[in-house]
A = this chain, B = another copy of it.
Amino acid sequence: MSDDRNKILEETIKRLLRRGAVTNLRKIINKTHAADLSLVFRNLSVTSQRKLYDMIEDQEQKAVLLSELSEYTFTDLIETFEVDELLEVFQFMPSDDVADIIADLPKEKADAVLEKMNNEESEEVEDLLSYDDDTAGGIMVPDFVALDEDIAARDAIESLQKDYPDVEMPFYLYVVDDHERLVGVVSLRQLVVVKPCTPLKEFMTTDIFSVRTDMDQEEVAKLVARYDILAVPVVDDNNRLMGIVTVDDVIDIFRQEATEDILKMAGVGDEFVETQSVVSSTRTRIPWLFASCIGGIVAFFIIGHFEISLRKVAYLAAFIPVIMGMGGNVGIQSSTIVVRGLATGRLVANDLWAVVGKELSIGLILGLFYGGLIGFVAHLRFGDAHSSAMLATSVGLAVLSSMSIAALMGSLVPMIFGRINIDPAVATGPFVTTSVDIVSVYFYFRIASYLLGL
């Protein structure tokens, strides 16, 4: 459904809610895909959410809706659920989503739910809860097919039908040995094509990727993308198959990581804040602006230090914006390229000097070009005045130094952060912008005071 159609759906549902048109609401709710409903739910009050949820007739649709919502904050809605109600809908949800929801519940409720689950299920969920959220273990699902390497193709098909009625779309059929260790993979297609009596180990593919439960989710996602696979098996330290990470989760990881990077670079937290209230959104943004505020105050004292020069040549002040602006923008360009390059794997943190050297060259070339241009404009403006040439030269040199320093800092800071394993996206905004501002202003006044003999 396109964004426009979703907007119409949302408007319609809101209108019907206001009117209390229950019959119409029920009709719409039950024929809309849960993924579309979840978009509408995000913009409704808890009361409305609860009302609509109760209108859904199909338990499975309820489960899909909750799974979709679980990516966003919907703790308020979940709090309205009784323990039994949760247990009922959990039966229709993949256990990784169940674990996600239970992790967000208040302690007592979570314990109550786990207690009432049947043993097998609660063990599965508790296993998942024991892994870190951002690791392969935290995002894997335990719904995979594991077949014994010694059974025949015919028996494998039978086992599929009998033992795995829940695994709707088996991506790959994994083959394990007597100790549940992952030894190979076969496709449904192969099972159907080979002679029925062939044992799996004779035709399985043994060259198989797997990841450990503690691998970072971003690494897992990169692997899946690089090798174009639909699912990657997750194994424990003894190579025993614990779960799979599927390609649809990988998509979510990439979108989430890209959004995080973008938001962090702009200093607006690492989760999407537009759904938050004005107050919490303001609170997220205040600290980052503080860095820039401190930087501005330092620049203030630097300029204050040159007050005498300024009194003599008041026009010096008029060039502050262009010098800061050019430096700031080149700095953003360089750091954006480096941060995104590191995130997508196109740059490697070990290439530090090659990358920084290239950015610095670009900064120098751009600085020469714009330094010349802006110096020339200054010269035109003050052509008749005393020491116009020196003023123009000062401004040109200031632009040149500001832009080269910005390119240097903009690439060096995130590269170094990347190397010592601190998220480069966090570093970029505050450090780079603020320090470029300060250094640019200082160099400008130093150069001008010297050249103009102030």
Contact = CB atoms under 8 A, between A and B. Distances in A.
Given A192-B192, A437-B321, A39 B340 contact: no
Contact of A317 (B303, B322, B346, B348): B303
Nearest to A187: B169
Given A193-B161, A268-B333, A350-B7, A297 B374 contact: yes
Contacts of A219: 2
Interface in A28-85: 33, 35-36, 39
Interface stretch (A107-115, A176-184, A361-369): A361-369
Each complex incorporates copies of this chain amounting to 2
Interface residues of A, number: 112
A300 interface: yes
A227 B35 CA distance: 6
Given A4-B350, A282-B365, A314-B317, 4 more contacts: A263-B337, A285-B330, A289-B366, A295-B325
Nearest to A305: B318
B362 A326 contact: no
A17 interface: no
25 contacts: A3-B345, A4-B350, A6-B348, A35-B226, A35-B228, A160-B189, A160-B192, A168-B187, A188-B188, A230-B247, A258-B262, A259-B340, A266-B336, A272-B341, A272-B344, A281-B362, A282-B365, A289-B329, A296-B374, A299-B321, A301-B318, A304-B381, A310-B314, A325-B437, A329-B433
B344 A255 contact: yes
B337 A274 contact: yes
Chain A interface main SS type: helix
A446 to B, nearest CB: 15
Given A262-B336, A267-B333, A333-B267, A362 B227 contact: no
A429 B331 CA distance: 13
A311 interface: yes
A294 B372 CA distance: 14
Interface string A275-314: 1001001100110110011011101110110010011001
Contacts of A170: 189
A281 to B, nearest CB: 6
A333 B333 CA distance: 16
A33 B272 contact: no
Contacts of A250: 251
A263 B340 contact: yes
A316 interface: yes
Contact of A304 (B3, B318, B323, B332): B318
